[in-house]
Structure formats: structure tokens, C-alpha cells
Amino acid sequence: MAGYIFYNYNPNMVAAVIFIAIFGLSALMHTYQLIRARTWYFIPFLVGCLFECIGYVGRALSSQEAPDFTKNPYIIQSLLLLLAPALLAASIYMVLGRLIRLLDANDLSIISPRWLTLVFVAGDVMSFLAQSAGGGMLATAKTKSAVKRGENIIVGGLGIQIIFFGFFMIVTLVFHLRINRNPTQKSQEITTPWRKLLYVLYTASLFIMVRSVFRVAEYVMGKDSELQSKEYFIYIFDATLMTLVVVSLNVFHPSRVINHDKDRKRIVSQDGYALESQPVGREERDGRYSLSPVRPKHTHRGIYGEVNYGVGAGRIRD
């Protein structure tokens, strides 16, 4: 990359360290929340947090090299900060699919939950791969034409991300409007704050969308543009927005609604009957329960003793 200008400014050490701390602490909190609630679908989100943290480590290293920047710290910050939001988005897509199934609202979604996660995560993977390829080309570019090709591929990847994320926001909005007009029985009975989770998804999606549009403008306008010549733009339209995304999902973690196992002694089945948890042998110690319907029992006293009937086999008591 002889003659390639890594930065049009000297990266600020203090700003980089601040965001290393923010994303590092958020990643630690997400690790705890993920393990505690066993929300494995949030692993991509956690990896995205780590990408953000390590990306700003790269910027901090670059700040110590000015003006003789080296390639490796630049590549670290450039690639990881570029790719992190795609990982955050993957988990956000999976949250919506799980929420729709939780509310028994499959018919209210434009896309069946069975396909929703698959479609959007597939789009996210395409975006991720395109941005990775473009970023890799930039990292190894030795001519201006190679740099331009890398930037164009990155813009294409970001364009895919914007298209899929825009459609995702439409799907979320339509689902929200429909379930407000025609609530399912489950959505009325469930006590967890699922509507708040939807608002958090809206907010996080909007922030990622704005950040992606900023990144497209940054690459389209070129290396000598105002957006790439002033460092504060990346901290306003990337670092700050991604901070709001990861912290908002620390404050309102999806496990408050989905995978809410803490007090699941009684839940409601799809046919409206209460379900009562019953310990099953050794599994009781592991926190796993079998569920059996509970309906009003009727008692009949006969010559063979007292008979309790409900659902399933009767029980005779002498």
C-alpha cells in the first residue's frame, strides 16, 4: 500500500480509549446476560461488541504512531468497525422471529417466522462477506484502482445491509400494527414487557440504519471528502450510535421477554388452559420441568373410595 494515506488526521487517543472501555464493559455485561439466560442467539451480538472494542484498540494504537502510521492497526480498526454492525443486526433479526412465535402471532407477520430469521440472516451474511471482501482488498491494495474497487465492493455490501435492514424495519412495523389491531390471546395474557422490546428493536434498527447510510456516504465521497477528513464524524455517526445500540440491549435485554425462565412455574398454553410445572426425577435439580394441563378436578366418593378426576388418569384414594 505504498503511497496510501491511512488517515487524513491524527487519531485521538482519549476518544479511542473511552470507546474501548464502553464496548468492553458492554461485552462483559452481554457475556453475563447471555450465559445467565442461555440466549445463545445473542452470540453474534456479543461478537459484534468485541469487534467494536478491538476496533478502537486499533485506533488507539494508530494514535501512538502518528504521523508514521503502519498498516496492521489501520486494518484492525477499519475491518472490525466496518463489520461489527452486521453481527449486531444478525441477533436483532433473530429476536423478532422468536418474539413473533412467543406471541403465537405467525399469521400477523409479512414473513413466516420460520423464514424470517433465515431470509434476513442470509442477507446479513451476504452483506458481511461483501464488506469483508472489500475490506480485504483495501488492506492489500497497491494501486489507486485497487483501492477504488475495494471501496466499491464495500459500498455494495453496505447497500445490501441497508436494503435488508429497511425491509426488516417494515416487517417489524407491520407486525406491530397488526398485533395492536388484532391481539392474540397469548399477547394479552403474557406478563413480560414485549411491547418495550419492540420499541428497543425499532431504536437499535434505526441507529444501525443511520450508521450504514453514513458509511455509504463516506466511501462514495472518497478519501479526501469532509467525512473522512474529520475524525469527529466517525465518533458521532458510528461510535456513538453503536454505543446506544449495545447499551440499550444491556439495559433491556431480550431475555426479559424471550427465554424468561426465572419464574416459569405457571404459563399459559395455546388452548387457554393453565400449565403447571411438574418436577421429573433428577431433572428437578437441573431446573427442567415437564408440563401437564391442569383443569378443575371433580371428586366422586364410591364404594372403592374417593376418585379424583381431571385430565389423564384418575386417582383413587382410600
Domains of the chain: total: 2
Whether residue 243 is found in the same domain as residue 299: no
Whether residue 178 is found in the same domain as residue 251: yes
Can you read off the three cell numbers belonging to residue 268? 399459559
Whether residue 171 is found in the same domain as residue 307: no
Q: Tell me, yes or no, whether 163 lies in a domain.
A: yes
Whether residue 276 is found in the same domain as residue 220: no
Whether residue 189 is found in the same domain as residue 273: no
pLDDT in tens, the chain (318 residues): 555 778 999 999 999 999 999 999 999 999 999 999 999 999 999 999 999 999 999 999 999 998 889 999 999 999 999 999 999 999 999 999 999 999 999 999 999 888 998 999 999 999 999 999 998 888 888 888 888 899 899 999 999 999 999 999 999 999 999 999 999 999 999 999 999 999 999 999 999 999 999 999 998 998 888 998 999 999 999 999 999 999 999 999 999 999 754 434 333 333 333 333 333 444 433 444 444 444 444 444 554 455 454 444 444 444
Whether residue 146 is found in the same domain as residue 295: no
Contacts of 170 (CB under 8 A, 6+ apart): 110
Whether residue 137 is found in the same domain as residue 212: yes
Q: Tell me, yes or no, whether 3 lies in a domain.
A: no
Whether residue 246 is found in the same domain as residue 284: no
pLDDT of amino acid 139: 80
pLDDT of amino acid 303: 45
Which of 257, 278, 255 minimizes the C-alpha distance to 266? 278
* Residue-number span of the structural domain to which 78 is assigned: 13-256
pLDDT of amino acid 27: 98
Look up the CATH number of the domain holding residue 210.
1.20.1070.10
Burial of 191 (0-12, 13-18, 19+ CB in 10 A): exposed
Whether residue 128 is found in the same domain as residue 214: yes
Which of 255, 249, 252, 259 minimizes the C-alpha distance to 48? 249
Can you read off the three cell numbers belonging to residue 31? 457475556
Q: Angle 25-245-159 (CA atoms, 0-180°, nearest 5)?
A: 130
Whether residue 88 is found in the same domain as residue 122: yes
Q: What share of the chain is helix, strand, coil (3-state, %, to 5)?
A: 65, 10, 25
Q: Tell me, yes or no, whether 29 lies in a domain.
A: yes
